[in-house]
């Protein structure tokens, strides 16, 4: 079968990569009777989503291996920690997603092709947050 006649439509490419870490936290800004004001933990899943209008050789938005510094950061700085003791913000999933986007933009984005468009944080199998990065 000859596929040479299949058109290559124009558009924007997007990729995503998931990472995981374990951490505890409490949300001291909540009333004492709220269960999340007490110490508890999650098996967090974090997904970064990048986009690009064109591909780098050999046909990538960015090489998935180039995202390994983000995994290293999660493993060394957040894994098996009490997030409320380390993060500069109240460690809700919303703020965690925003913080991780900021870290990614500051430390990784200048070194790789593609642009971070969103960070998704899942704290349970049925609960997630997505932080969309505004394009400048």
Spatial distance between the Cα atoms of 21 and 51, rounded to a whole number of angstroms: 24
Question: To which residue do tokens 């609960």 refer?
Answer: 127
Residue among 20, 14, 46, 19 at smallest CA distance from 116:
14
Evaluate whether 22 touches 41 at the Cβ level (below 8 Å).
yes
Evaluate whether 117 touches 60 at the Cβ level (below 8 Å).
no
Evaluate whether 97 touches 121 at the Cβ level (below 8 Å).
yes
Enzyme catalytic residues: 36, 80, 123
Peptide bond into 58 cis (omega under 30): yes
Spatial distance between the Cα atoms of 11 and 9, rounded to a whole number of angstroms: 7
């Amino acid at each position: 079968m000859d596929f040479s006649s299949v058109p290559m439509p124009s558009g924007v490419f997007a990729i995503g990569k998931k990472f995981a870490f374990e951490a505890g936290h409490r949300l001291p800004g909540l009333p004492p009777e709220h269960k999340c004001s007490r110490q508890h933990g999650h098996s967090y899943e974090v997904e970064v989503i990048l986009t690009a209008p064109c591909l780098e050789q050999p046909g990538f938005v960015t090489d998935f291996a180039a995202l390994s510094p983000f995994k290293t950061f999660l493993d060394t700085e957040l894994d098996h920690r009490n997030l409320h003791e380390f993060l500069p913000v109240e460690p809700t999933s919303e703020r965690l997603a925003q913080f991780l986007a900021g870290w990614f933009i500051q430390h990784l984005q200048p070194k790789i092709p593609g642009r971070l468009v969103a960070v998704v944080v899942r704290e349970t199998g049925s609960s997630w947050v997505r932080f969309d990065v505004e394009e400048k």
